[in-house]
Homo-oligomer: A and B are copies of this chain.
Amino acid sequence: MDLHVTLETPGDSDTRVVRIYHALREAVLDGRLAGGDRVPATRDLARQLGVARGTVTAAYDRLTAEGFLEARPGAGTYVADVALEASAGTRRRRARVGAVRPLPLWETEPGAWAPRDRRLHDLSIGLPDPALFPLEVWRRLVSAQLRRSRMEEATYGGRGSFRLQHEIARLLGLARSVVASADDVVVTAGAQQAIDLVARVLVAPRTVVAVEDPGYAAVHRLLETHRAVLRGVPVDDEGLVVDALPADARLVYVTPSHQFPTGVPMSLARRTALLRWAVDHDAVVVEDDYDSEYRYSRQPVEPLQSLDRDGRVVYVGTFSKSLLPALRIGFVVPPRSLLPALREAKRVTTWEGDLTTQGALAEFLAEGHHAAHVRRATRVYRERRDLVLTALAELHDVLTVMPSVAGLHVCARFRDETVDDRDVVRRAARRGVRVEALSGHHRDRPPRPGLAIGFGGIGADEIPDAMNRLGGAVRSE
């Protein structure tokens, strides 16, 4: 019997027991040892392996206790019959490893994930600059949360940090005119989970969901995994074209403050039209207010939620843009009628979430660090944005900048609609600039070519050179 026990590596007695145990166990499971086979006497195997007899005995005891071996007094130790059944069953079907398939809707190739290439000028969209985050303050606040009494609070079925709910309600009231008390705020693991919870409680299989086109693919994918039927609705310079909404949509997912990806703010006329549409069609509007903390215009961008008098708007926000994606904290402010269901949905999936981060964030807000950070960061981003816009102005014969007043990126469309914007992106990459094509965010209708230019991940000192190279890519054939 070949046991395949490798004992050359020095290890303590426990380790040797485990190795012998596993070697025998594998031999049984593989069928190399069959039910009724006699295994070597402990003394013999110990000699063969050069270990103490007690080591082998301990391994045999464990296998016996588990039911793999049985000691027959006076006759030695044998492989048990029950183990035989197991090995016969499994040996035969070994080739079927991997027979279990996920549901068809999950049978897609996962998106390839590539680490960022630090050699490129990075004009990617959707990421704030981590260098601006007040890390020392954050470290102090997190450390203060890691005390025993706080650890004891975290359990199952709790409510999460009520203090954070309170601070978020306060922030939303002051900065965003959102009408919410602490009780109305459900804290989530980022906006993506927030939308997942909303989909759980509102989307049944084949529910029609209207989404912006172009729009935010990660949320679209999420909604599809809930078996929603998605319908892309065009976006123009006033935002979502409300007249184009399909009458059977029960849910409308929009980014009215800074449309993703175009950056266009939804006009007030469209906002009121959308709210009226929702009432008339008994639909719910999910408003994703993902990066409107950074505002560059006196024109305020008030959320739909603050205009809603009918309880039709579910407001979703996140600290991933105003602070850092790493915090992974977002929130939902639903109409009261959805609040118990959303709390329950949160509870059954991830209980109350990470109380340490929640507690630290509550303090961060209460001590005014959030407001100070947003003020400071807005100044920095405004400078970067101005540099991008200045450079785009020099390309006005080729590109039209789309109106936007907030956020961490701007978009520009090619005047010539036959341009292949992915070609431009590839040319830009060859010139050392990472930038995104607008057509990649389109869903149903023919894409209109353009570029989405982010300034969260690039310093002001780099932008002129980056835009210069991008300009070269735009103009070259």
A residues at B contact (CB < 8 Å): 18, 22, 25, 29, 61-62, 65-68, 82-83, 85-86, 89-91, 93-94, 96-103, 106-111, 113, 116, 126-127, 130-131, 133, 135, 138-139, 142-143, 146-148, 150-159, 174, 177, 189-190, 192-193, 196, 200-205, 218, 221-222, 225, 267-269, 271-272, 275-276, 279, 282, 284, 297-300, 302, 307-312, 324-326, 328, 335-338, 340-345, 347-351, 353-357
Contacts and interface: CB of A to CB of B under 8 A. Distances in A.
Oligomeric state, in number of copies? 2
A22 B179 CA distance: 11
Top 3 A-B pairs, shortest CB-CB distance: A154-B326, A67-B268, A102-B341
Given A66-B302, A143-B143, 4 more contacts: A62-B300, A93-B309, A97-B310, A127-B155
Contact of A102 (B135, B143, B202): B202
A22 to B, nearest CB: 7
B126 A82 contact: no
A122 to B, nearest CB: 11
B268 A93 contact: no
A91 B347 CA distance: 35
Contact of A29 (B116, B150, B189, B307): B307
Chain A contact residues, majority secondary structure = helix
A89 B341 contact: no
B268 A91 contact: no
14 contacts: A29-B309, A66-B300, A82-B268, A90-B307, A90-B310, A93-B309, A99-B311, A99-B337, A109-B340, A113-B158, A133-B148, A150-B326, A154-B328, A221-B348
A7 to B, nearest CB: 16
B100 A284 contact: yes
A228 to B, nearest CB: 12
Contacts of A275: 86, 89-90
Contact of A225 (B90, B102, B222, B348): B348
A155 B325 contact: yes
A348 B192 contact: yes
A53 to B, nearest CB: 17
Contact of A328 (B142, B148, B341, B353): B353
Given A97-B309, A158-B113, A311-B99, A222 B151 contact: no
A347 B67 contact: no
Contact of A272 (B65, B86, B98, B267): B86
Nearest to A174: B18
B335 A98 contact: yes
